[in-house]
Amino acid sequence: MTAPTKNKKLLAWVAEVEKMCTPDRVVWCEGTKSEYDRLMNQMVESGSAVRLNEKLRPNSFAFNSDPSDVARVEDRTYIASRTKEEAGPTNNWIDPVELKKTMRALYTGCMKGRTMYVIPFSMGPIGSPIAKIGIEITDSPYVVCNMHIMTRVSKKVLQVLGDDGEFIPCLHSVGAPLEPGQKDVPWPCAPIEKKYIAHFPEKNLIWSFGSGYGGNALLGKKCLALRIASNMARNEGWMAEHMLILRMINPEGRKYHIAAAFPSACGKTNLAMLQSTIPGWKVETIGDDIAWMKIRPDGRLHAINPEYGFFGVAPGTSKASNPMALASCSKNSIFTNCVVTSEGDIWWEDIGCECRSGTDWKGQPFHSGMKDKDGRAVKGAHPNARFTAPASQCPVICPDWEDPEGVPIDIFIFGGRRTTTVPLVHEALSWEHGVFMGATAASEPTAAALDVKQHLRFDPFAMKPFCGYNAADYFAHWFKMGARMDDKAPRIFYVNWFRKNKDGKWLWPGFGENSRVLKWMCERVDGRVEARETPVGLMPKDGDLDLKGLNISPDDYAELMKVDAGLYRNMLSDIADYLKEFGDRLPSQMTHQLEALRKRLD
């Protein structure tokens, strides 16, 4: 196939990879429907994909991965910066010279018997001043089809790239060469000890080997959009964040744009697709996972969703928990490690209906209520089962979500999962205080936490697994961005939807009712409501948080909003111990904010 570009750097890189990996053929992807359909038909014919019932789930397909390849592999994910200090204490560092030597040996001949696909893709609307171009080389047609949904794959990308444009090289292989006559398996991958997901931040380079699953293989996802982009953003003066983006519109038509960062299991996707319960207030989705933000000529921070689709966790998604997410994957979607029902639809735990009969993610017969030989419930879908769906199919997608200029951010929200101590909502006293809040965002450890002695699990800005450089330097970058924006910086808030009473019951109903908290934030931005100052930040005055129609007792509301200075003082030692990890690189503003909080609590 003749290469559809004259970009010398790109052509040289493709030739270098082809020589090293020795595929049977090279195909340049164009992002067309016919290309997608052709690859899907090939995978159905080979037995790696199942075509779902066209009436129940139009143009949708199910895949089951190898049981060894079901999620991100954190201990095989590396930041290969020049020094360990540059990677920082939150990253898995490895020497880049040694790693390249190891991986080149693995890549040699790794695509034998397979097709090498070259995927030109744009993270963000093609041509946007906030977007970036990536080129992924892969030997997995499953990856190509997922990239069609998750990114903007098109010949137009190469046109924008031109003859001398810059791109981010992303090399991926499942690591399973085929000898002549050797039959392929439905999900080729390498054993765990040969899996590597490597990031070279000084070179803006991604190398992935051995896994065909999710963010290990869809290299536009966490690898490029966060680990590499976060470092590029630091160097170039913008922000790449693990944040949802939504638009809230009040009854007068005023638009507010909100970006929010939450650790896992804190309701991030639910908030991104929120259905407001407040009459006259409306919410629209712009992105559910990642925000790229640049200061534009108006002096404000503008954000785009660099992705084109949703790569959502399936189990637990239902009409009750997130009807918009469920509607988004009603057609034209890819399902991985779900149950395929006997009717030819998909099913997972807590989807909201029973599965009378079907095949589980391991290919075994399944029905709801099945028990194993020890009497334990059998899970039909893997806990990390996923759906890949076009964002354009979300019923509440913002009409101009692809505006290349992005949307101006009014509000940042951070949060964690806390059953005590942290109130429902509080606002930062300043940008510096807000950065401190985001940097010390924490959840209570689960019963399965490895370190049972740890009181809190800190996940700064929900970026702990995804920041591509030293997190202390990342905090410093946040402080610098705030200084550049001055009084045009977004306001910062912290929420906790998960507080419980002494009987262990949730104090706040959550889900759509969270719109009430967002409404208060918007009113704070407009100066429509005052706030009361507390040691931890600014909080709603009595009567200012809209509770009309909610059945919350005065005692429960008081507990929701309670700031117990003693409990916060107990938390200070956890914060101080956590910040010690960063040593001398920790920005002085963090220490100042910790001491200021200590004084306010006294």
Question: What pLDDT digit, counting tens, does each position of 579-594 carry?
Answer: 999 999 999 999 999 9
Rounded to an integer, the average pLDDT of 303-329 is 96
Q: What pLDDT, on a 0 to 100 scale, did the predictor assign at position 266? A: 83
Q: How far is CA 117 from CA 42, 181, 195, in A?
A: 14, 21, 20
Q: How far is CA 365 from CA 343, 352, 356, 370, 384, in A?
A: 13, 20, 11, 10, 20
Q: In order of start, what are the domains of the chain with their CATH numbers?
A: 8-49+73-237 (3.40.449.10), 241-306+401-601 (3.90.228.20), 310-393 (2.170.8.10)
- Angle in degrees, CA 71, 190, 170, rounded to 5: 70
pLDDT in tens, 164-202: 999 999 999 999 999 999 999 999 999 999 999 999 999
Q: Is 398 one of the annotated active-site residues of the chain?
A: no
pLDDT in tens, 193-205: 999 999 999 999 9
> Do the Cβ atoms of 259 and 293 come closer than 8 Å?
yes
User: Cβ atoms within 10 A of the Cβ of 236, count?
Assistant: 10
Phi, psi values for residue 355, rounded to 5°:
-110, 110
Distance between CA atoms of residues 23 and 3, nearest Å = 16
- Tokens 């505006």 sit on residue: 403
pLDDT in tens, 111-134: 999 999 999 999 999 999 999 999
User: Which stretches of 273-365 are DSSP H helices?
Assistant: 323-328
Sequence-separated (6 or more) residues with CB below 8 Å from residue 348: 314, 315, 316, 317, 338, 339, 380, 381, 385
Q: How far is CA 576 from CA 199, 417, 579, in A?
A: 30, 20, 5
**According to the 3-state scheme, what is the secondary structure of 117-142?**
EEEEEEECCCCCCCCEEEEEEECCHH
Residue 265 has pLDDT above 80, yes or no: no
| 454 confidence band (pLDDT: 50, 70, 90) | low
Question: How is residue 545 written in tokens?
Answer: 């948080």
Residue 447 has pLDDT above 90, yes or no: no
| 446 confidence band (pLDDT: 50, 70, 90) | low
**Quick check: helix, strand or coil at residue 290?**
coil
Distance between CA atoms of residues 10 and 23, nearest Å = 18
Dihedral of the CA atoms 105, 107, 113, 118 (nearest 10)? Answer: -160
Residue 448 has pLDDT above 70, yes or no: no
Q: Minimum mean pLDDT among 311-320, 353-362, 446-455, 548-557: which range?
A: 446-455
**According to the 3-state scheme, what is the secondary structure of 554-588?**
HHHHHHHCCCCHHHHHHHHHHHHHHHHCCHHHCCH
Distance between CA atoms of residues 13 and 106, nearest Å = 18
pLDDT in tens, 393-425: 999 999 999 999 999 999 999 999 999 999 999
Phi, psi values for residue 577, rounded to 5°:
-65, -40
User: Cβ atoms within 10 A of the Cβ of 105, count?
Assistant: 10
Residue 21 has pLDDT above 70, yes or no: yes
Distance between CA atoms of residues 223 and 115, nearest Å = 23
> Do the Cβ atoms of 386 and 335 come closer than 8 Å?
yes
Whether pTM > 0.95 for this model: the answer is yes
Q: Minimum mean pLDDT among 95-104, 269-278, 442-451, 582-591: which range?
A: 442-451
Amino acid residing at 85: E
Sequence-separated (6 or more) residues with CB below 8 Å from residue 406: 128, 130, 292, 293, 294, 296, 302, 303, 304
| 455 confidence band (pLDDT: 50, 70, 90) | confident
Rounded to an integer, the average pLDDT of 545-570 is 95
Name the percent of the chain lying above pLDDT 90: 96
Task: From the candidates 145, 266, 338, 467, give the one annotated as an active-site residue.
Answer: 266
> Do the Cβ atoms of 206 and 218 come closer than 8 Å?
no
| 263 confidence band (pLDDT: 50, 70, 90) | confident
